């Protein structure tokens, strides 16, 4: 009985000591919240190279893919389809409402 009370007391003490430490880590130096981490950057050239490798017009495909990648910061995997992996990429259209991104 005494052992279990000591165990519970030590667990509560450990939780109380760790909680302020975690709160301090999420705060900046001046007490303000730390900024969100920067979004992951993507190598658009390499991503579009893979996306356009089977295209009949690779230069046109890479140019269109590159402009879409610059705007959306993502390229869907594979050589076609998979547009659900990058909704921004899938939603870009030309003036004639044709999908812009290959």
pLDDT of residue 24: 46
**Burial (CB count within 10 angstroms: exposed 0-12, middle 13-18, buried 19+), residue 51:** buried
- pLDDT at site 15: 58
At 3-58, the pLDDT tens digits run: 677 767 675 556 566 665 444 444 555 555 556 565 668 899 999 999 999 999 99
What pLDDT, on the 0 to 100 scale, is given for residue 23? 46
SS3 assignment, position 99 = strand
pLDDT, tens digit, for every residue of 43-101?
999 999 999 999 999 999 999 999 999 999 999 999 989 999 999 988 999 899 999 99
């Amino acid at each position: 009985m005494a052992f279990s009370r000591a165990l519970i007391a030590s667990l509560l003490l450990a939780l109380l000591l760790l909680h302020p430490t975690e709160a301090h880590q999420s705060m900046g130096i001046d007490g303000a919240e730390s900024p969100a981490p920067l979004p992951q950057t993507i190598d658009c050239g390499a991503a579009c190279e893979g996306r356009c490798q089977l295209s009949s017009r690779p230069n046109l495909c890479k140019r269109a893919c590159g402009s879409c990648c610059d705007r959306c910061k993502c390229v869907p995997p594979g050589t076609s389809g998979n547009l659900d992996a990058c909704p921004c990429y899938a939603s870009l259209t030309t003036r004639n409402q044709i999908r812009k991104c290959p």
